[in-house]
Amino acid sequence: IITDLMDKLTHIFGQGLSKSFYPVPQQAIGVGSAFEGWSPHAQDLVYHVLVPLSPPPGHAFHLELDAAGVLQRNCCVRVELLCTCAREQLGEDMLCFLHHSEEELRKQDPSLLHTLCTGTYLDVEKTVHWFCQFVRNAWLLLPQSCHWRLMLQPSSRSCKFQLSRDQESFMVEVIFGVQQGDSDIFVGSQPTQVGIPSTTWLETYAVAEAKFFRHISRQAPRDSWHCKCLQLLSRILVGVGFSSYALKTVVMHLLSTVPLTQWCRKDFRRRMMDTLKYLRCSLDTKQLNHFVIGNQRFPVEISLPSDFRVAEAPNLFQHLASNPDAHLKAMQEYVHLLDQ
């Protein structure tokens, strides 16, 4: 339902904005636990979707990454105007933003710099507001509107909406991303800590991780229980401060080292214990390596920036090494998980 809805929305975007200079939404990509197959929430399930944005004609995106970031680098998306005089000479109905006067340019829609940017940088909050307004206006043009009710939810860095029909309902959260080169790594609009500037985008590995789970599903036996293992452990964590992403990282590491033929139903208990032992060892050493960055075992068919595989893997438990109270709390939460 969600994939079909997003495809139709993207198609309407392409038709309705063909003469404008807004970002061009590409085919949506399902990310996160619901699409990876291990969501701990049977109820209140949120389907996360990443919509890649490409620059409109006459514009280019340049990513300015903050190298100081450790686990998740900040980024600004600088928008540059490009000369399109050659396209004019070929008869395309577009004036060059660089080489026409302001008076002449009033004959066409404004550039992206004058709509969704703050200064020369693509603004997350303006982009989200623009997309939500378009969804609101386009909804009645979609065949789904005959059967489903759409309710937009307040959110400044993502487009959240609820779809409901009779007793059925689910939540969708759309985040926006700009691709790093031709890789599966993006900078995204995903919600983060309060107070972050609206021109700040965050590096996200969600697409690469979702592709990893699909890669595993293709390689593993049909009765593989690797998702059930992660789902059960993460469900126990609901209501506890322990990060389900840390648990997911542990299972991804194990999927790269334990043969996939050993994740079947008969191996379920052993794989559960392997996961708990790996997590305990990581807590004891206060070291849990990021799965995508610095991982030589990461599948080569999933495209990463050239420096990712040889980079030093960030430590997801770095905060435990520098904060004894946080480490003590994490150990207590682990004991709770073990008891459960």
pLDDT value of residue 146 = 92
pLDDT value of residue 71 = 66
> What single string gives the DSSP state of each residue in 73-115?
-EEEEEEEE---HHHHHTT-S---TTTS-HHHHTTSPPPGGGT
Least Cα distance to 201 among 174, 172, 173, 177 occurs for: 177
Q: Residue 236 above 90 pLDDT?
A: no
Burial string for 127-149 (b: 16+ CB within 10 Å, else e) reads bbebbbebbeebbeebebeeebe
> Pick the residue with more confidence: 192 or 320?
320
What are 133's two structure tokens? 């307004």
Rounded to an integer, the average pLDDT of 238-255 is 87
Residue 198: φ, ψ to 5°: -70, -10
pLDDT value of residue 43 = 60
Q: pLDDT per residue over 214-231, tens digit each?
A: 999 999 999 999 999 999
* Helix or strand holding residue 50 (H, E): strand 46-54
Rounded to an integer, the average pLDDT of 155-176 is 93
Q: Residue 335 above 70 pLDDT?
A: yes
The reported pTM is: 0.92
d(CA 252, CA 231): 13
Q: pLDDT per residue over 88-145, tens digit each?
A: 776 678 899 999 998 999 889 999 999 999 999 999 999 999 999 999 999 988 988 9
Q: pLDDT per residue over 55-97, tens digit each?
A: 999 999 999 998 765 567 899 999 999 999 987 776 678 899 9
Give the Cβ contact number of residue 307 at 10 Å: 9
Q: Could you tell me how far CA 225 lies from the centroid of its own chain?
A: 25
Query: 209, exposed or middle or buried, with CB in 10 Å at 0-12, 13-18, 19+?
Result: buried
Residues of the chain with CATH 3.30.460.90: 1-205
Domain spanning 1-205, CATH class? alpha beta
